[in-house]
Amino acid sequence: MSKTDKYEDFSPSSVGVRNGKLFGLPFEYEDSQVVILPVPWEVTVSYRAGTAQGPQAILEASTQVDLFDPVWPDGWRAGYYMLPISSEWQAKNDSLRTLAAACISKLEEGVAQDDPELLVPQGEVNAASSELNDWVERQAQSHLTLGKAVGVLGGDHSVPLGLIRALATRYDSFGVLHIDAHADLRRGYEGFQYSHASIMENVLHLPHVSKITQVGIRDYCDEEEQTVRESGDRISFFSMRSLRKRGFHGEPWARTCQHIVDTLPQQVYISFDVDGLDPALCPQTGTPVPGGLLWDEALHLLDTVVESGRQVIGFDLVEVAGQGEWDAIVGARLLSRLCLLTAQSCPRP
């Protein structure tokens, strides 16, 4: 059956069909412009676990999403396809999470990070995390070569590094719009080189990433503040406190969003940690922080990126907890928006 025939046979107004495909869409891989790579990995999470089950929970909730958009009513026709969740990486996650959790527990009891007792398990986790990054990069490269746009669905925030590396081989320069409660600029947090709290510090090592614009940050340490300060203009930092202060002084959110987007280059990668939202929208996420973006604020910011004429070259959505239906519903709707904006800003044949 051709893609056109699938359009005609599919009604976005009918009941969402649980056909095992994202949003209940009828498309196969070859029909889809946007491919979602699920990564069930949360080995280095430092507080609550559960995000490794996020991809499956979002897939199950996705049939509850209405695909109509008043600006792009047929946007879903671009095709979104979620790849199978890797049982191999799920098993590795389950095994290594126990190992990492034991290390974290000892650190919280006051054991030094460089204690010889911790070096072996830390080394094992770091080696596996490096292997995961290489796997994600290979997967991303294979889909990018076929002309697909790629989004990574986590899992914790360590998982998209491989995709960002893949894009760095294809673009001379691009920026990262990083929405998060945390700056994620810690160096090898808790002895884990590829910690979820170190993703943007690792991204800084990629020279093709010319800009990181951080939005909604409200929980960060001295080391991270120093990194931002010493970055020159490579990092633009919009803390949640500073964003609220703008609003308190009468600046419309639309103008604030324009200020944020103006810091970004033409090609933009979106890294969206769901805890960047108000925790009422993601109560089960691993490290919730009071405050955060409201739903419509977040969507308006994303829309502003595309309305400015910039291209979304890829994205990730991470830290959605798998144990809460509400979190999965919010995550599925956010994933739908990211797919739509990616397809519309950077259309493919």
Alpha-carbon gap, residue 198 to 168, rounded angstroms: 18
Q: What is the mean pLDDT of the chain?
A: 94
Task: Judge whether residue 6 has pLDDT over 70.
Answer: no
CA-CA-CA-CA dihedral for 126, 324, 163, 263, to nearest 10: -110
Tokens of residue 184, six digits: 């994620």
Q: Give the whole-number percent of the chain exceeding pLDDT 90.
A: 86
3-state secondary structure the chain: CCHHHHHHHCCCCCCCCCCCCHHHCCCCHHHCCEEEEEECCCCCCCCCCCHHHHHHHHHHHHHHCCCCCCCCCCHHHHCEEECCCCHHHHHHHHHHHHHHHHHHHHHHCCCCCCCHHHHHHHHHHHHHHHHHHHHHHHHHHHHHHCCCEEEEEECCCCCCHHHHHHHHCCCCCEEEEEECCECCCCCCHHHCCCCHHHHHHHHCCCCCEEEEEEEEECECCHHHHHHHHHCCCCEEEEEHHHHHHHHHCCCCHHHHHHHHHHCCCCEEEEEEEHHHECCCCCCCCCCCCCCCECHHHHHHHHHHHHHCCCEEEEEEEECCCCCCHHHHHHHHHHHHHHHHHHHHHCCCC
pLDDT at 115: 87
Confidence of residue 20 (pLDDT cuts 50, 70, 90): confident
Task: Judge whether residue 195 has pLDDT over 60.
Answer: yes
pTM greater than the 0.85 cutoff? yes
pLDDT at 173: 97
pLDDT at 238: 98
Higher pLDDT, 68 or 185: 185
Confidence of residue 228 (pLDDT cuts 50, 70, 90): very high
Tokens of residue 165, six digits: 């590396």
> What integer is the mean pLDDT of 216-226?
97
Number of domains forming the structure of the chain: 1
Tokens of residue 306, six digits: 């595309």
pLDDT digits (tens, 9 = 90+) for 73-103: 989 999 999 999 999 999 999 999 999 999 9
pLDDT at 14: 66
pLDDT at 3: 64
Alpha-carbon gap, residue 60 to 327, rounded angstroms: 12
pLDDT at 215: 98
First-to-last C-alpha distance (Å) of the chain: 18
| Domain limits for position 74 | 3-345
Biggest CA-to-CA distance, the chain:
63
Give me the phi and psi of 10, to 5 degrees please: -105, 130
> Which of the residue ranges 34-38, 45-49, 158-162, 235-239 would you say has the lowest mean pLDDT?
45-49
CATH code, domain with 282 = 3.40.800.10
Nearest in space to 273 (alpha carbons), one of 235, 227, 321, 220: 321
For tokens 């199978």, the residue is 84
CA 179 to each of CA 104, 171, 245, 318: distance values in angstroms, whole numbers, following the listed order: 26, 22, 18, 11
Task: Judge whether residue 226 has pLDDT over 60.
Answer: yes
pLDDT digits (tens, 9 = 90+) for 98-145: 999 999 999 989 998 888 889 989 999 999 999 999 999 999 999 999
